[in-house]
Amino acid sequence: MSDSARPRVVLGVGGGIAAYKSCELLRLFTESGRDVRVVPTQAALTFVGAATWEALSGKPVHTDVFTDVPEVPHVRIGQEADLALVAPATADLLAKAAHGLADDLLTTTLLTARCPVVFAPAMHTEMWEHPATQANVATLRERGAIVIEPAVGRLTGADTGKGRLPDPAQLYAVADDLLVRGVGERGHDLTGRSVLVSAGGTREFIDPVRFIGNRSSGRQGIALAEAAAVRGAEVTLVAANVHAPLPAGVDVVAVESTAQLHEAMTSRAADADAVVMAAAPADFRPASAHATKIKKASDRPAPELELVENADILADLVSRRTGDVPVIVGFAAETGDDEASVLDHARAKLARKGCDLLVVNDVSAGRAFGRADNEAVILTAEGEAEHVPFGPKIALAHAIWDAIGRRLDTD
């Protein structure tokens, strides 16, 4: 594939210690066939030299607007880009971008870019939480830029807190979604919205070793959280025993049991504009859990397991809401039987639960669970049905947010 046919990515690198992580991010871009131009700040070259960026990208690297003047790089690089990603984005870079300053090649490139622009901040917690930084982030988001929430973890020195650059693979997933999907008409339609998503499958313990569970990997819920973050939302993901990498820019609440999932969802739903119940909670739990491992013995029968019913989280979320807020979405993993089809069972569930949308998966023959691809039907409370064809789970996630967005637009 020629360079002109490959998606063009500008990788901006700010002057923070996390600049070394962007070498891995660059590798992910180039190995996937992207045409990458690295544009560091002068401070960034203190951490990773120009020779490293040139060797990894195969392109020249400079920081000022007076190199290769006939090529007008301070205009051309931004104009020709399909995506601009700044990682790490320091507090200084965020401030310059928010105020339209242009004193080097990266800041002038950001002013000329008409493609999706993503900032991945990395700094100490105090700098991230400072009102000036938060105001700059709000300004950038209002203008349509995507500012990914920093991760929580070890920072420079012994400090720990919010401000860590997300894992390069997580940043790449956001960028890849934007390059494949594009921003489009509804690209940042969730800016200013707060959304709550659940993912995974709960576990109900029989003893310290054994539990009742299900086959949910959490991939679809994680895709929903990732898609919402890309579209500008403030996202909280309640993750129950998930088996897939978590997305960047998302606040994660880890839970294990259905009771924990219930508490996490109901305590946060009132502050959300939309709640998507993609997790698969166990319908039943043991009436009591053994404190020690149950031993198998040939001289006595296998123990009988008494089950009690768990709370209906989706129905409870609906009963607690005020008016039509938040928009509530449920999931139905169904199989047809002699009594009814998959959609018949799903429509009955939608009426019974009272949610606004129900995403229906036909899970017969092992479909949907643990796979990277999925197909579904999105049912509305008004009786409409939208079939989303088989494809990546991120595509289904965006279709779901499109349906949610249409309801939010009528608020």
Question: Measuring CA to CA, how many Å separate 365 from each of 221, 278, 331, 342, 376?
Answer: 21, 20, 18, 13, 15
Name the packing angle between helices 50-57 and 21-31 (round to 10°): 20
Q: How far apart are CA 270 and CA 101, in angstroms?
A: 39
Give the residue among 36, 137, 30 at the shortest CA–CA distance from 82: 36
Element (H, E) at 227: helix 219-230
| Residue found by looking up tokens 């998930």 in the block | 242
Side-chain-side CA neighbours of 223 within 13 Å: the count stands at: 23
Question: Measuring CA to CA, how many Å separate 65 from each of 58, 76, 78, 109, 351?
Answer: 20, 11, 13, 10, 62
The pair of three-digit structure tokens given for residue 126, joined into one six-digit string: 């105090």
Of the chain, the end-to-end C-alpha distance in Å amounts to: 46
3-state secondary structure of 305: coil
Contacts of 29 (CB under 8 A, 6+ apart): 9, 11, 36, 172, 175
The backbone torsions φ and ψ at residue 329, rounded to the nearest 5 degrees and listed phi first, read: -120, 130
Side-chain-side CA neighbours of 293 within 13 Å: the count stands at: 5
Q: Does the annotation mark 214 as catalytic?
A: yes
Identify residue 192 by its one-letter amino acid code: G
Out of 214, 241, 310, 374, the active site residue is 214
Catalytic residue numbers, as ranges: 214
